[in-house]
Amino acid sequence: MKPAEKEWTPKILAFLCNWCSYAGADLAGISRMQYPPNIRVVRVPCSGRVNPYFIIKALQRGWDGVLVSGCHPGDCHYISGNLVARRRFAVLKDLLEYLGIESGRLNFSWVSAAEGEKFATVVKEVVEKVKALGPAERLVKR
Amino acid sequence: MVVFQMVWKVIGKNKIPTLIQELNKEYEVFTPVKKENLVFFERVSSGNEAFLDFQNTKKSPKEVFFPQTEILFTYEINKQGVEIEKAPVLKRDIVLLGIRPCDAKGFLLLDKFFSSGEYKDLYYLEKRRNTTIIGLACNRPLSTCFCTSMGGAPFGKEGMDLLLQDINDKYLIETVTERGEKLIKKLPWLKDAENGDIDKVRSLSRNVEKAIKSKVSVEGVSKKLDGMFDNKQWDLIHEKCLGCGVCTYLCPTCCCFDILDEATTKWKRVRIWDSCQFSCFTLQGSGYNPRPSGKERMRQRIMHKFNYFPKNYGENFCVGCGRCVQECPVNFDIREVVEAISTDIWREKDE
Amino acid sequence: MHNVENSIREAAKKLLSEKKVDLIVGYERGTLPLRTTPCFVDKAEDVRKLVWNENCDANLSKYLLSRKENVGVVAKGCDARSIAVCIFEKQIDKEKVVIIGAPCLGLIDKKKVKAKLDGRELLEATIEDEQIRLKGEGFELVFPKKDFICNSCLTCRHRNPPIYDVFTGEKVSEAEVDEFGEIADLEAKPAKERWEHFKEELDKCIRCYACREVCPLCYCKTCFVDQTMPIWFGKTNDLSDTMIYHLVRAFHVAGRCVDCGACSRACPMNINLREVVKKTEKIMKERYDYTAGLSLEKIPPLGEFKIDDSQEFIK
Ligand code: SF4
Ligand code: SF4
Ligand code: SF4
Ligand code: SF4
Ligand code: SF4
Ligand code: SF4
Ligand code: FES
């Protein structure tokens, strides 16, 4: 393995809902749960705020993976933001995969404020998946 | 006026790959290439890719000098200020082989746009000046070719350095310019043409020219358009146009562009094609657009081609290649517009 | 066919002379073989110009957007469906439009004809009794018409307009076809191969936006690619920018696309855009059991949700 390759670690952009997953991440932090340091967090008011453009732009800019995490169905602070988003993400994910983007690069989860452990697990899994895929190439603009 | 000896050479069709291979050693060679069902000009690296048995290429060859996306320079902003790095324009000199007479004439018009007057476009000119054009006369013009109405001809030499003329299994090569002659000198293995063959292409040229049926009476149209800016017909003719970029992007003379900055790993300033048919053409920062609807945009296209450009540069800005006619998704036919203006139908309807 | 043409003319004439509409949008003869061109008729005596044949390929619903006058429009099955979508989305005022529905004959795909002629120019074409006669310099060939029917028509299940105000001609029987068979092979391939396929196809794109401009559902005043504040995605013909244009356009027509095939027909680079948008149709059908343009009331999938929607992709 060339040294450059050895040093590669995935960069993952995470959009976390303020009312649940962001707090979940916080809980994981204060509970000193271990999870890989590869994510950068964007706090959003609701998973429904995540415009598909954000996700596509992240892929174009060379992020190796994206995670969107919001409140469980029924728990959305705005009642249905996550339910509207769920359909949007389903279509976006299906379409991106159809065009040939590796499915592991797009990740979605429901993590509540109390689920610090779930958050740590989700991040671990996402990082593992993306690591296995290697650096993003398709759709990246040079 | 440069005096040079006008020579006629001949090359067997089966020798074209050899010719390209040889040129390839010294030049970036572009020829028509067939991909699936379409023919485009492309950079070729071996002799066998060239496809010369075409009528007209899908896209015009303008993109060799005026690419759809062109990085003008890259820059970095750091503590010292801004560091600019100019993008390399030309690797080696260029040979364009297989250029149709209409497209060669298109280059002459583009030259006017990019180089006469106060501003010279160095990106265009650097490539253009270092290019030798080997044309290919048209034995089989399309039914939509109206080059003869626009001052061209299927065997026209304008804008060519050399002109290939197809007689059965060989091409006669006519030297047109000194640059062409220089190239010929590098190819000592080419045989001289025989007088009989030269006579043959002369009569062929006459016959093909006669066979062009698509005619447009463009005489005087430019003058007539002078008084037609407010003609009511503009309200009607644009109606079916959907405002796409097909006609202008495929056109050998359209050269509108937009310049923007992009950031990826570095900052880049890029130039991209634009089209007067797009709704965001000439849209200003304030939100105001002097061409707010399809009417003004279609008027811009027609006026630019047949009035503004002739006024500024003395020639119509259309060479009659017919690409816009063939490819418009709704069959908007520019020939009909010109014809209607020329026969005064517009003026009469306006009264 | 001629009787449909006549009934269209009669319907148009009636609408115009009874002043029910101010304008008829239909088709007239084009200037090239196998072409028609959209035409706008505002006088009853001009209805003669209207034609009806296998080359009436433009989706005229585009011409109804933001019209002030009352308009009668000639519509095939897919055209009527896209009009229905636009009515639902409040882009076309139902009160101002009279749909002259006609059963679709199946459109001729000029690109298939071109491929068959392999570089020889078509100078004349006639269609008679399910046969098509192609003439050009030194050739005259006869083929079964079905060899050249557009793929969108081959998989169509709504040749009769599902909504209309006047119906011309007689209803045709609808075929039972495998709607999504076309993309099955592609779907079965590994992601890498799909990527390579789309990369090769979309790399040809010159961003002329003909696909967008002909699409009845791409009516946005400012398309996302033309937005400047912010500039979401680049306007270059760099592969990444181009891919994203097509991806997002497909996303935007998801649940709205009626598979009229206009985008594929318009593309000067012969890119089969239906291959991209067809997937959105399939997603809508499979996930939300929805087909666009069949009703004026039903809310499309991306406009609503259910608490138990599929979410197998969410952790
Ligand atoms: S190609 Fe046709 S529809 Fe497109 S802008 Fe030109 S005239 Fe209009
Ligand atoms: S306007 Fe049309 S016919 Fe004239 S040069 Fe341009 S593409 Fe060719
Ligand atoms: S204004 Fe229109 S017609 Fe003139 S060069 Fe630009 S795109 Fe072409
Ligand atoms: S995306 Fe294509 S097939 Fe679908 S409605 Fe638009 S033009 Fe028709
Ligand atoms: S691609 Fe999207 S934003 Fe652009 S016109 Fe179509 S629907 Fe509107
Ligand atoms: S019509 Fe074809 S070339 Fe034009 S933008 Fe669409 S895909 Fe690209
Ligand atoms: S508030 Fe958390 S997803 Fe809506």
Partners of C125 in the beta sheet?
A: C134
Please give the tally of structural domains in chain A: 1
Residue B243 with chain C: CB contacts under 8 Å? 213
ipTM associated with this complex: 0.95
Residues C232 and C217 reside in one and the same domain = yes
| Statement to judge: residues C105 and C124 lie in one domain | no
Check residue A142 and give its pLDDT: 86
Q: Which residues of B31-43 are buried (b: 16+ CB within 10 A; e: fewer)?
A: bbbbeeebbbbbe
Model confidence pLDDT, tens digit, residues B117-160? 788 999 999 999 999 999 999 999 999 999 999 999 999 999 99
- SS3 for B90-148 is CCCCEEEEEECHHHHHHHHHHHHHHHCCCCCCHHHHHHHHCEEEEEECCCCCCCCCCHH
Give the C-alpha separation, B152 to B103, whole Å.
10
From the CA of C309, how far away is ligand 7's center (Å)? 17
CB A119 within 8 A of CB A24: yes
Q: What is the pLDDT of residue B197?
A: 92
- The answer to whether residues C28 and C137 belong to one domain is no
CB-nearest to A100 from C198, C233, C307 is C198
| Same domain membership, residue C51 and residue C35 | yes
A141 touches chain B (CB under 8 A): yes
| Range 209-248 of B in CB contact (< 8 A) with C | 236, 239-240, 242-246
Longest C-alpha distance within chain C, in Å? 66
Would you tell me how many other CB atoms lie within 10 Å of the CB of residue C220? 13
Helices of type H across chain A: 3-7, 21-30, 52-60, 81-98, 116-133
The DSSP 8-state label assigned to residue B15 in this structure reads G
| Contact assignment for C31 to B59 by CB distance below 8 Å | no
Closest-CA residue of chain C to A121: C315
B246 → closest Cβ in C210, C226, C234 = C210
Let me know if residue C310 belongs to a domain. Answer: no
**C100 and C22 in one domain?**
yes
Residues with CB under 6 A from ligand 2: B 250-253, 305, 318-324, 334
Residue C189 CA: distances (Å) to CA of A100, A137, B251, C202: 9, 19, 38, 18
Interface test with C, best of A87, A112, A126 (most C CBs within 10 A): A87
Atom of ligand 7 nearest to the CA of A21: 2
Residue B335 has pLDDT above 70, yes or no: yes
Beta bridge partners of A41: A14
> Does C72 lie in the same domain as C93?
yes
Q: What is the pLDDT of residue B116?
A: 82
- Same domain, yes or no, for C215 and C280? yes
- Are B87 and B270 in contact, with CB atoms under 8 Å apart? no
Number of Cβ pairs < 8 A linking chain A and chain B: 3
Strands B267-273 and B257-263: antiparallel
Give per-10-residue mean pLDDT for chain C (315 aa): 87 97 97 97 96 96 93 97 97 96 95 94 94 96 96 94 94 89 95 97 97 97 92 93 98 97 97 97 96 95 95 94
Output the pLDDT for position C228. 86
User: Are the CB atoms for B6 and B169 separated by under 8 Å?
Assistant: no
C312 → chain A, closest CA residue: A90
In a domain, C239, yes or no: yes
Query: Which chain B positions have a beta carbon within 8 Å of C214's beta carbon?
Result: 242, 244, 329-330
pLDDT (tens digit per residue) in B163-211: 999 998 999 999 999 999 999 999 999 999 999 999 999 999 999 999 9
With CB atoms and an 8 Å threshold, state whether A100 touches C276.
no
- pLDDT for residue B245: 96
Q: Give this prediction's pTM.
A: 0.95
Q: What is the pLDDT of residue A5?
A: 57
Between β-strands B38-43 and B28-35, what pairing exists: parallel, antiparallel or unpaired? antiparallel
DSSP state letter for C149: B
Strands of chain C, DSSP E: 23-29, 36-41, 71-75, 97-101, 124-128, 131-136, 139-144, 166-167
> Average of pLDDT values for A110-128?
96
Q: Which CATH number covers residue A80?
A: 3.40.50
Q: Which domain holds residue C135?
A: 110-148
Concatenating the DSSP letter of every residue in C184-238 gives HHHHHS-HHHHHHHHHHHHTT-----HHHHH-TT---SS-GGG--TT--S--S--
Domain count, chain C: 2
Q: Are residues C162 and C245 in the same domain?
A: yes
Quick check: B264 pLDDT over 90?
no
Burial level of B124, CB count in 10 A (0-12/13-18/19+)?
buried
Lowest-pLDDT choice from B168-172, B237-241, B345-349, C84-88: B345-349
Q: Which residues of C touch A88 (CB under 8 A)?
A: 302
Residue C309 lies in a domain: no
The tokens of C297 are what? 């009331």
* Closest residue to atom 7 of ligand 2, CA basis: B251
- What secondary structure letter does DSSP report for A40? E
Is the Cβ of A110 closer than 8 Å to some Cβ of chain C?
A: yes
Would residue A4 count as lying in a domain?
no
Q: Which residues of C touch B331 (CB under 8 A)?
A: 30-32, 35-37
Give the distance from CA C25 to its chain's centroid. 16
Residue A127 within any structural domain of the chain: yes
Beta bridge partners of B260: B270
Q: What pairing do the DSSP bridges indicate for beta strands A65-70 and A12-17?
A: parallel
What is the extent of the structural domain holding A26?
A: 12-133
Cα-to-centroid distance, A20 and ligand 7 (Å): 7
Cα Rg of chain C (Å, integer)? 20
**A3 pLDDT higher than 80:** no
Tally the residues of chain C: 315
Q: How far is CA A25 from CA A29, A33, A110, A119, C313, in A?
A: 6, 10, 12, 6, 21
Q: Are residues C137 and C166 in the same domain?
A: no
Q: State the nearest Cα–Cα gap between A68 and chain C, in angstroms.
A: 9
| C-beta of C205 in contact with ligand 6 (< 6 A) | yes
Which spans in chain B are helix H? 16-24, 101-115, 122-129, 178-185, 195-211, 221-226, 233-237, 246-250, 294-303, 309-313, 323-327, 334-342, 345-350
pLDDT of residue B41: 96
Lowest mean pLDDT, pick from A45-49, B2-6, B42-46, B115-119: B2-6
Closest ligand relative to C255 C-alpha: 4
pLDDT at B117 (0 to 100): 79
Spatial separation of the C-alpha atoms in residues B276 and B257, rounded to whole Å: 10
Calpha distance C253→C261 (Å, rounded): 13
Look at the block and give the residue holding tokens 């709607």: C179
Cross-chain residue pair C283–A90, CB shorter than 8 Å? yes
| Same-domain pairing of C165 and C264 | yes
The neighbour count for residue C160, using CB atoms within 10 Å, is 20
Which of the two residues, B64 and B78, has the higher pLDDT score? Answer: B64
Spell out the residues 6+ positions from residue B111 whose beta carbon is closer than 8 angstroms to its own. B128
DSSP C108: B
CA gap A19, A99 in Å, rounded = 33
- Ligand 5, pocket residues at CB < 6 Å: C 212, 218, 220, 223-224, 249, 252
Residue C311 included in any domain: no
Do C83 and C120 belong to one domain? no
Q: What is the largest CA-CA distance in chain B?
A: 72
Report the pLDDT value the prediction gives residue C302, as an integer from 0 to 100: 95
Phi, psi of C29 (to 5 degrees): -55, 140
Helix, strand, coil shares of chain C, percent, nearest 5, are 40, 15, 45
Contact between C204 and C49 (Cβ < 8 Å): no
Do C73 and C64 meet the contact criterion of CB atoms below 8 Å apart? yes
Q: Walk across the sheet containing C166-167 and list its strands.
A: C36-41, C23-29, C71-75, C97-101, C166-167
Q: What is the rounded distance in angstroms from the CA atom of residue B78 to the CA atom of residue A93?
A: 39
Q: Taking the CA atoms of B175, B160, B59 and B27 in sequence, report the sign of the dihedral they define.
A: positive
Measured distance CA(B280)–CA(A141) in Å, rounded: 24
Sign of CA dihedral C278, C283, C289, C292: negative
- Give which of B69, B71, B74, B264 to mutate to test A binding, by max A Cβ within 10 Å: B264
Residue B275 CA to ligand 3 center (angstroms) comes to 6
pLDDT (average), residues A19-39: 94
Given a cut of 90, is residue B351 above it in pLDDT? no
Indicate whether C242 and C115 sit together in one domain. Answer: no
Helices C181-188 & C274-288, crossing angle to 10 degrees? 90
Residue A2 is assigned to a structural domain of this protein: no
Residues 6+ apart with CB under 8 A from A9: A38, A131
